[in-house]
């Protein structure tokens, strides 16, 4: 796989590197703003870590969370008032911001925080048309995917799948996760990476779509039955009608395909199993997992902003974040977990799988050019509406293939290194 790990040239480093003292800028005297995806209480541990950073630096920081992160950031950029840092889960979006010049390349002082596969270096042309390769963002928190969750009483039994794909403007992503994971487990990391980076025609993915439909239709389900079709389209991926959270708490299904973040809705009677185990095959995808992450990028460069990014990826901040989180919400970081408070059983189980992974591959749709990603979301929703309709899947894949070719002509596929060996856990 292609390795792009170049650092900034000395001239850029001189202009933006973190200073230890004696040199200041306007950001030293103002409040720095961090825009991020966590709301409704989920942000509290991060805010606690941010507060501790402020106590160490004497600077003032404020966190602003929103579920409409892309729309909010775009509006702020258009208004000429971006946040100092933004935390996003989509490398595809981040790549666009790097190419447009809105996100700044990491200086050498913090470039080591750009841990692969979450933060590969990318090649971008500067204003003079010169191509330069740098990292532009760094993961502050990560999650493991390729997991199936079930209660102990259901372990080993034939799955009766939970499914909900509603998620506001990003509805459909729980379905794209399924397609991606099936392809990873059936074809292996190399084939997965070729497809996710635009080198494989979409019609070649038809078998995994068909397998997904067959899995969901098991146990007597059909295209319009419970948990599939219109009911799944209208259901949230986590919120139940009565205000409770967690699809396994509905009582009408036994297994849920979801990332490690979902453990916050369950007790230790709900534990993860690798998707490969549930599928009954290891094949070429043995030990391979999808991963996702929340990545920080600087949109208003200053010495204070670079200092903050460096501190957010430091051991001290991670320990503060972990300490402030509930045992079932303990965050994961590249290289292992931190915190003196014992984690929950499910948190510990995920970390064990993380540590034993053979290959980790960045979430495919997160890494795709945004227009292709959004088309993928829409295709999943349309497919779920009537998966048995003759010709529907072929038509959807042809449309996705047309979008892939369009993005190739636009040279929008910049990321090409999505899989890597796991980071060795910190001692």
The DSSP code sequence of 76-140 is: HHHTT---SEEEES-HHHHHHHHHHTSSPPPPHHHHTT--TTTS--EEEE-TTS-EEEE---EEE
Q: Are residues 65 and 21 in the same domain?
A: yes
Any idea what the CATH number is for the domain that residue 242 is in? 3.40.190.10
Q: Within a domain: residue 352?
A: no
pLDDT value, residue 395: 98
pLDDT value, residue 225: 40
Q: Are residues 77 and 173 in the same domain?
A: no
Q: Within a domain: residue 3?
A: no
Q: Are residues 362 and 398 in the same domain?
A: yes
Q: Within a domain: residue 249?
A: yes
**What's the CA gap between 331 and 318, in Å, rounded?**
8
pLDDT value, residue 317: 95
Q: Within a domain: residue 385?
A: yes
Cα 123 to chain centroid, rounded: 21
SS3 157: coil
Strands 255-257 and 147-151: antiparallel
pLDDT value, residue 59: 97
Q: Are residues 238 and 313 in the same domain?
A: no
Q: Could you tell me how many residues make up the chain?
A: 427
Q: Are residues 109 and 51 in the same domain?
A: yes
Q: Report CA-CA distances (Å) from 6 to 128, 220, 300.
A: 19, 54, 22
In the chain, how many domains are there?
Answer: 2
pLDDT value, residue 117: 95
Domain extent at residue 401: 144-290+358-420
Question: Which candidate, 371, 418, 365, places its Cα nearest to that of 399?
Answer: 371
Question: Which candidate, 364, 380, 146, 346, places its Cα nearest to that of 258?
Answer: 146
Q: Are residues 66 and 128 in the same domain?
A: yes
Question: Which candidate, 108, 388, 12, places its Cα nearest to that of 225?
Answer: 388
Successive 10-residue mean pLDDT values, the chain, 427 residues = 32 33 56 95 96 97 94 96 97 96 96 95 83 95 97 88 92 97 96 97 98 82 47 90 92 95 95 93 71 98 98 95 92 79 90 93 97 98 93 98 97 93 67
Q: Are residues 257 and 367 in the same domain?
A: yes
Are residues 295 and 89 in contact, defined by beta-carbon separation less than 8 angstroms?
yes
pLDDT value, residue 230: 63
pLDDT value, residue 111: 95
pLDDT value, residue 189: 96
Q: Are residues 198 and 247 in the same domain?
A: yes
Cα 34 to chain centroid, rounded: 18
State both tokens at 388: 């048995």
Q: Are residues 365 and 334 in the same domain?
A: no
State both tokens at 2: 């292609």
């Amino acid at each position: 796989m292609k390795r792009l790990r170049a650092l900034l040239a000395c001239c850029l480093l001189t202009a933006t590197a973190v200073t230890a003292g004696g040199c200041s800028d306007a950001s030293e005297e103002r409040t720095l703003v961090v825009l991020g995806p966590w709301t409704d209480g989920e942000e509290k541990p991060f805010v606690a870590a941010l507060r501790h950073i402020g106590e160490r630096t004497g600077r003032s920081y404020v966190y602003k969370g929103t579920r409409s992160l892309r729309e909010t950031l775009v509006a702020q950029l258009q208004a000429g008032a971006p946040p100092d840092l933004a935390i996003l889960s989509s490398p595809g979006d981040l790549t666009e911001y790097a190419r447009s010049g809105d996100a700044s390349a990491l200086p050498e002082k913090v470039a080591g925080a750009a841990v692969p596969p979450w933060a590969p270096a990318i090649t971008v042309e500067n204003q003079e048309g010169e191509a330069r390769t740098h990292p532009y963002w760094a993961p502050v928190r990560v999650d493991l995917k390729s997991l199936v969750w079930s209660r102990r009483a259901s372990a080993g039994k034939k799955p009766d799948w939970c499914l909900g794909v509603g998620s506001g403007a990003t509805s459909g992503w729980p379905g794209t996760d399924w397609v991606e994971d099936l392809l990873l487990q059936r074809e292996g990391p190399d084939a997965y990476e070729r497809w996710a980076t635009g080198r494989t025609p979409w019609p070649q993915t038809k078998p995994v779509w068909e397998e997904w439909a067959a899995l969901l239709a098991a146990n007597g389900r059909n295209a319009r039955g419970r948990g599939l079709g219109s009911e799944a389209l209208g259901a949230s991926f986590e919120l139940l009608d009565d205000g409770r959270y967690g699809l396994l708490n509905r009582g009408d299904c036994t297994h849920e395909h979801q990332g490690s973040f979902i453990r916050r809705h369950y007790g230790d009677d709900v534990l993860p199993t690798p998707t490969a185990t549930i599928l009954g095959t290891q094949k070429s995808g043995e030990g391979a997992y999808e991963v996702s992450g929340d990545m920080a990028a600087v949109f208003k460069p200053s010495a204070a902003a670079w200092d903050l990014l460096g501190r957010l990826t430091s051991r001290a901040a991670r320990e503060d974040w972990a300490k402030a989180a509930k045992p079932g919400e303990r965050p994961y970081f590249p290289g292992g977990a931190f915190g003196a408070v014992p984690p929950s059983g499910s948190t510990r189980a995920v970390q064990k799988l993380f540590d034993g992974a053979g290959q980790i591959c960045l979430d495919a749709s997160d890494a795709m050019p945004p227009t292709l990603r959004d088309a993928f979301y829409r295709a999943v929703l349309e497919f779920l509406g009537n998966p048995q309709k003759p010709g529907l899947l072929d038509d959807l894949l042809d449309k996705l293939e047309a979008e892939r070719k369009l993005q190739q002509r636009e040279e929008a596929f910049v990321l090409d290194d999505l899989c890597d060996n796991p980071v060795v856990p910190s001692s």
